[in-house]
Amino acid sequence: MSTKVVAPIMLAALTAMSVSAFAASQTKTGDVKSTDAAKHELTLANGDTFEVGSHVKLDKIKAGDKVAITFDTKDGKMIASKVHLSK
């Protein structure tokens, strides 16, 4: 293959790999500052606020609990997919 064919293919592959890396879920741990079941929000002591789905049972999480949160960022908001109590 010539360089004229290989270069665009390599560029496309690198772009696809970098985009998928940014789409990966992240995990953050911390102490819970507050929860708001009506708004489906959880706020950590450091000020980070997460939107949580209705499948996350916020009634079992209280201020002071240590949690691990798996989340994605969408439109500038942190959207939690999992919230686990941690030690």
For residues 11 and 60, the model is more confident at 60
Digit-coded pLDDT (tens) for 6-33:
566 666 665 655 544 456 789 999 999 9
pLDDT at 59 over 60: yes
CA distance 42 to 21: 26
